[in-house]
Amino acid sequence: MKPIQALAKNNRISALAGALVMAASLAAMPASAQTIQVNKENRTIAVTATDKVTAMADTATVHVGFIDYGPDSASAYATGSRISNAIMDALTGAGIPKDSIESENQNVSPVQPYQVEKLSEAERAKRQFQVTQSWTVRVPAADAAKTLDLAVKAGANQSGQIDWSFKDENAPQAEAAAKALKHAREQAEQMAQSLNAKLGALLYASNQVEAAPVRPLMMSMAAKAQAEPAPLAINPRQIEKTATVYAVFAIE
């Protein structure tokens, strides 16, 4: 073999071997090695801080539904259709957009014997089948009581649960994270002072946000009262958002 060809071949072998060694090294490198290293050489301070914000919910998701009975499947379905459309008409007639009303479930099924065993024979004959249906209705928090009242008076006798939330979920989360980051910087400054150093720029930050909403219990209500009562007194709930921030600062 000629010297030039031998040299080229050796170079290709060396390059290939180097590539394999590099690939093996990268494969063996842990993911944490690619993050910022906190040690004496790079002069950094790492801090974890937690903070929270509490804000009044501005959105309510009202759960409404009904249950009724019939002597047979067709009769139960006919009754359910009447009640179902009455509830929907009451909600949309009050200006609630249809896309804010979502179906949860609907069912027509036989009534189990144990459910009517304490009723008279005549009552059991009227309750051979049952029809159920439920929806969630998303409205501004201030309209929760009115929405529930409309549905119940239209026949929604299985209603009452309300989930409270924010129209913009990112706003309170961002506020909680900002407070936690400020807290982290204050801690880092104190640590830097104890080291006779000056705190530098923020090099890295990550956060984890957790929500702790409070939900009222499900309530069962009469389908239709003899006299039209006023809506229930319902107030929005406060929701707490907590953020934990991990931050790395340079020190000078």
pLDDT of 229 reads 84
CATH of domain 59-165: 3.30.70.2970
Q: Where are the domains of the chain?
A: 31-58+166-252, 59-165
Compute the CA torsion angle 117, 118, 124, 129 (nearest 10 deg): -60
The one-letter code for the residue type at 8 is A
pLDDT at 122 (0 to 100): 94
What's residue 80's pLDDT? 96
Cβ-contact 239, 172 below 8 angstroms: yes
Q: Tell me whether domains 31-58+166-252 and 59-165 share a fold.
A: no
- pLDDT tens sequence across 186-227: 999 999 999 899 999 999 999 876 655 444 433 333 334 456
- Residue ranges of the chain with pLDDT lower than 50? 1-34, 213-225
The CATH number for 31-58+166-252, chosen from 3.30.110.170, 3.40.50.360, 3.40.710.10, 1.20.120.1200, is 3.30.110.170
